[in-house]
Amino acid sequence: MSPELAVLLAVIALFAGVGITAIGPGGVFVTVALFALAPLSTAEVAGTASATFVATGLLGSAVYFQSGEFAQGHAREMAIVLSATSVLGALAGSQLNLVLPERVFGYLLSVFVTTIGAVIVYREHVGLKPSNRLDSVPDRQRRVLIGGVGLGIGILGGLLGVGGPVVAVPVLVVLGVPMLVAVAVAQVQSVFISTFATAGYALSGAVSIPVAVLIGIPQLVGVLAGWKVAHLVDPHRLRIVLGAVLVTVGPLLLL
């Protein structure tokens, strides 16, 4: 890997870290950058990205715990249920990735990135309101719903090497969870998704430690900055920009 490429990946990772704790979707940029630029196999892309998300999830969980988001509503319950159900999904997703042809991985990643971006832009443009609020749902139904969301997010995280927040935050917000609580809960879940996904890839030798360190350190710096941004700035415009960038980047992965 050339010094220029290493610097570029580190810069992308820094901004990705900001996105992780500011608005949720952010870590996907690391996966996209590794897939498009780094000399890694698709399994190494997903495995290496997942390894860095363990660290960002731990730090993100800590700072949001400090700022009090886990004391609101059912935040702790959501974090536990989402984390537990996402483990099975992450393990299944990581094993599925190992048997997928590289071109199929590219298509899946492209569709995933583009769809997430379109959903974010649409929601912000029309001011989409939640059709239901989790607080008003009976306890048993709420846990089943959250468990199903966690399982699906785990499969996507393990399969594509993307952290939980990129999917969990938009879904939880649509379900009526406050933005900062959704981001906080997603940090905890990402630790579990990423840990088990990384373990699955590591058993196959598909985790590049040098690359993980290269992009992991700036990501952690970005995580701290993103947490500050989330509490100081209205994230509406940031979400619009992020969604637009995702919609633009997604199709480029097929070139």
Separation of alpha carbons 124 and 211, rounded Å: 35
Higher per-residue confidence, 46 vs 250 = 46
Instruction: Supply the pLDDT for residue 192.
Output: 85
Distance of CA 211 to the CA centre of its chain: 18
Whole-number average pLDDT of the chain: 84
Give the Cα separation of 80 and 82 in Å (integer). Answer: 6
Condensed to tens digits (0 to 9), the pLDDT of residues 198-240 reads 988 899 899 999 999 999 999 999 999 999 998 888 767 777 8
Question: What is the secondary structure of 181-234 as a DSSP string?
Answer: HHHHHHHHHHHHHHHHHHHHHHTTT---HHHHHHHHHHHHHHHHHHHHHHHHS-
pLDDT digits (tens, 9 = 90+) for 115-162: 878 887 887 777 655 555 666 677 777 888 888 888 887 887 777 766
Q: Say if residues 107 and 250 touch (Cβ distance below 8 Å).
A: no
**What per-residue confidence (pLDDT) applies to 161?**
66
Q: How many residues does the chain have?
A: 255
Cβ atoms within 10 A of the Cβ of 125, count? 10
Q: Residue 42: which of 244, 234, 208 has the closest Cα?
A: 208
Contact partners, residue 111, CB within 8 Å, separation at least 6:
250
Where in the chain are the domains? 3-252
What pLDDT, on the 0 to 100 scale, is given for residue 98? Answer: 74
